[in-house]
Amino acid sequence: MIFIREINPLSAKLLERIYRRSRHHQVRQRARCLLLANQGVKVEELMKIFQVSYKTIYNWFDRWELDSMMGLYNKPGRGCKSKFNTEQKEKIREFVKQEPRQLKQVAQKVKEEWGIISSKKTIQRILKY
C-alpha cells in the first residue's frame, strides 16, 4: 500500500519533465519513483526497480509530502566542508600571484600562516572557483 496523496495532473507533468531533463541523477530517480507510485506500482517493486531499501522509498515519499518539488533535491550541507573561509581563499590567490608555478610553496605558506595543512590539489580547486 502506498502512503502518498494522489499527485495532481500539473504536478505529474512537472515531475515527468524533471524525470526527463534534470541534471541530477538522484532527482530524476525520485521523480520517477513518485510517478510510478502514483500509477499504483507497489513499494516492493519500487525497491527492486531503484535498488534501494524500504526506508529510502518512504523517505522519498515523506519529503514529497512535506516539501513537494523541493523535496526531490538534496538538502544543503552534504559533503566535505571547506578548510578555508573566503578571506583565506583570497589570501591564497594572492600567494599564487606572487609565486604562480610554486603551489607546494604556497601550501607551505598556508601552513605557516594558519596552521592548516593543504595539498596542491586543494590550492588548485581554490583557484578554479
Classify 13 as helix, strand or coil.
Answer: helix
- Residues 68 and 23 grouped into a single domain: yes
Count of structural domains, the chain: 2
The tens digit of pLDDT for each residue in 56-111 reads 999 999 999 999 999 999 888 877 888 999 999 999 999 999 988 899 999 999 99
- Residues 90 and 67 grouped into a single domain: no
Question: Taking the model in full, what pTM does it have?
Answer: 0.63
- Residues 53 and 90 grouped into a single domain: no
Rounded Cα–Cα distance for residues 106 and 128 (Å) = 15
Rounded Cα–Cα distance for residues 99 and 120 (Å) = 13
The tens digit of pLDDT for each residue in 36-56 reads 999 999 999 999 999 999 999
Rounded Cα–Cα distance for residues 85 and 87 (Å) = 6
- Residues 97 and 58 grouped into a single domain: no
The tens digit of pLDDT for each residue in 2-11 reads 567 788 899 9
Rounded Cα–Cα distance for residues 33 and 43 (Å) = 9
Rounded Cα–Cα distance for residues 69 and 63 (Å) = 9
Domain interval for residue 39? 9-72
CA distances from 18 to 30, 33, 44, 124 (A): 10, 12, 24, 34
Residue 12 contacts residue 35 (beta carbons within 8 Å):
yes
Rounded Cα–Cα distance for residues 41 and 28 (Å) = 17
In the chain, the percentage of residues whose pLDDT exceeds 70 is: 98
- Residues 50 and 93 grouped into a single domain: no
In a domain, 80, yes or no: no
In a domain, 4, yes or no: no
Rounded Cα–Cα distance for residues 57 and 10 (Å) = 22
In a domain, 101, yes or no: yes
- Residues 50 and 97 grouped into a single domain: no
- Residues 90 and 60 grouped into a single domain: no
Angle at the Cα of 62 (from 57 to 66), degrees rounded to 5?
150
- Residues 67 and 90 grouped into a single domain: no
In a domain, 77, yes or no: no
